[in-house]
Structure 1
Amino acid sequence: MVAFTKGHGTGNDFVIIEDVDGNLDLTPSQVQALCDRNFGVGADGVLRVVRSASLPEGSAALEEEPGAEWFMDYRNADGSIAEMCGNGIRVFVHYLLRSGLASIEPGATVPIGTRAGVRDVIRSENGYQVDLGRWRLAGGEPLARASGLAVARPGLGIDVGNPHVVVALASEDELAGLDLNPTPVLDPAPVGGANVEFVVPGEPLVRDGIGHVRMRVHERGAGETLSCGTGAVASALAVRHWAGARAPHQWRVEVPGGTLGVRMFPAEDGEHVALSGPAQLVYRGEIDLA
């Protein structure tokens, strides 16, 4: 039997497994079984809590930041390995604090190892804020086709530690009419796939100096989810890019599961982007992985 905790960030839900010494070798089929909403616990992905020193991928995190004691080993619901998860890392840190595995002193951060590099997390007014580091335009404008969308639309490739393609829609009706259970088709298809966000800018776009956008997402390896943290960040970056130089650097992104905050700010190595939002633990249990 393996102990687990169920948690979520704005409805993006995860099975959390504490494996501090890295003794558990989760197979893709076990992850799929855990995430199955009919026969398992049910989740968009699995967060394995493991010390960075206890797995090969953690050595790079410790080289980058010796204080990155913990590594977020994130798996998508289909069992595939993902580089980063913006909602997941907030839930991961919330679990560390609630379990007594880590602490955050006032004004301090906790560094977390991920496959996208070390990410610093602090407490915020509505939960936690994570510095996702530098972002970049991924190049190209692939056409996106989705069920319920009459014609293909151009997207914007953005990398925030994992790949995204953001597609602008004309109205709330178009956004509501999408069926994102089938995987949207991108042409050309990015190597390794991508998360695909469909967005509608707010009316007005900027209120009290803060940009507003609504989003739905199909996550690579999980399907449509109620929220995607890195997707919210990519959406805000894309809309700011389209809006031009006078667009704000602070955004509110509405997703089906709630609201997330996005902030762009200068750093020594270039512009960084931060994500803020809530994190909750729902229940604990045990499950037989066999």
Structure 2
Amino acid sequence: MGDNRPMIWNFTKMHGAGNDFVVLDGVRQTIEMTPERARALGDRHFGIGADQILLVERATRPDADFRYRIFNNDGSEVEHCGNGARCFVRFVHEQGLSAKNPLRAEIMGGAILVLDESDDQQVTVDMGTTRYTPDALPFDVSGLATRQQARDTLYEFPLDPAPGLPRSVELSAVAISNPHVVQVVEDTETAPVAVIGPMLESHPRFARRVNVGFMQIIDPHNIRLRVYERGAGETLACGTGACAAVAAGVRRGLLDSPVRVQTHGGVLTIAYDGQNLRLTGPATSVFNGQVDIDALTFSMALSR
């Protein structure tokens, strides 16, 4: 006879500067994630609701303490999430999975993150190195006009005609395990994020889609930022997006490290030495719960 017992998953709802997550312990419970299950968990109307689903697993390599996996609420698995990384280390410590600090976490693509939880409730993530060549995203730049600004190459990207939109935008390309483009805007509050964001995010020139940042420079150490995330839409904060914006700004000669990044969800601090990025910000546990994952996934399928 088959086993008809419900598959109950324990989870914790967390957020980092308003970027919210469902976090799952895949060390002490069996978690077999699928795109359908990730979509069900992330759905804000019929599920728990989250920008991303974070999964803690046993490390697969000797130089890491844990494996860190990230799923967008559209079901896609992605390489990196900076705000999620801060919640990851806070979760590991709160759940008693490890008392080690800092922690080393392996992410998709083979990179290792160093995660450090300080005594002031802030968490710092060593985001590793960045790359700025189009093939690192990948980004098909054939036929695009370019210009050099300090150490950065800007790509003139033509936009589809639409009322109120410019004919083109200038983009910096930044890869931090996951792909980003960044543009400078006069005012993040009036920037057409909801139009240009999805237009670029799924453009055929970006084979793996792309995260789209809109950066307003206040002064060399302060910016405002909105990010339209690949597979999640606009979020209250994006850690890798903040890092990409600061790296692009420093390379363009517009910013000096460290930089305070004001998002709709809170403040992040980015330090950049020209090669490595360090992201510091809050990580908060909101509540713990349980979910019958198969029942939730089935009910989601019926509702569509």
TM-score, scaled to structure 1: 0.84
Q: 1:286 aligns with which of 270, 287, 290?
A: 290
Q: Give the equivalent residue in structure 2 for 1:45.
A: 52
Q: Which residue of 2 aligns with 1:194?
A: 210
* Structure 1: unaligned runs, 5 residues or longer: 53-57
Name the counterpart of 2:157.
143
SS of the residue corresponding to residue 23 of structure 1 reads coil
Q: State whether residues 15 and 47 of structure 1, in contact with CA within 8 Å, keep that contact through their aligned partners in structure 2.
A: yes
Query: Cα offset for 1:258?
Result: 0.4
Question: Residues 20 and 148 (structure 1 numbering): CA distance in 2 closer, same or farther, change over 3 Å?
Answer: farther
The CA distance in 1 between the partners of 2:30 and 2:156, in whole Å, is 41
Count of residue pairs brought into register by the alignment: 263
Answer whether contact 1:193 1:220 (CA < 8 A) is retained: yes
Q: How does 1:38-77 map to 2 (within 5 A)?
A: 38-52=45-59, 58=60, 62=61, 66-77=62-73
Cα deviations across residues 210-235 of structure 1 (Å, max 9, x unaligned)?
Answer: x1111111110111100100000001
Q: 2:263 aligns with which of 241, 244, 255?
A: 255
Amino acid at match of 1:185: L
Identity of aligned residues (%): 32
Shift of 1:179: 2.4
Change (3 A) 1:213 1:99: same
Match of 1:55 in 2: none
Matched ranges for 1:1-290 at <5 A: 1-20=8-27, 23-52=30-59, 58=60, 62=61, 66-105=62-101, 109-116=102-109, 117-124=111-118, 125-139=120-134, 140=141, 141=155, 143=157, 145=159, 150-151=165-166, 152-175=168-191, 178-179=193-194, 183-185=198-200, 189-202=205-218, 205-206=219-220, 211-243=221-253, 247-265=255-273, 271-290=275-294
How far does residue 73 in structure 1 lie from its aligned partner after superposition?
Answer: 1.3
Instruction: Measure the CA separation in 2 of the matches of 1:104 and 1:148.
Output: 54
Residue 243 of structure 1 and its aligned partner are, at CA, apart by 2.1
Provide the rounded CA distance (Å) in 1 between the counterparts of 2:122 and 2:196.
Answer: 30
Equivalent residue number for residue 149 of structure 2? none
Greater Cα radius of gyration, structure 1 or 2: 2
Which sections of structure 2, spanning at least 5 residues, go unmatched? Answer: 1-7, 135-140, 142-154, 295-304
Residues 172 and 8 of structure 1, relative CA distance in 2, 3 Å threshold: closer
Distance 1:219 1:172 in 2: 15
**Structure 2 counterpart SS, 1:235:** helix
SS in 2 for 1:87: helix
Counterpart CA distance in 1 for 2:78 and 2:223 is 25
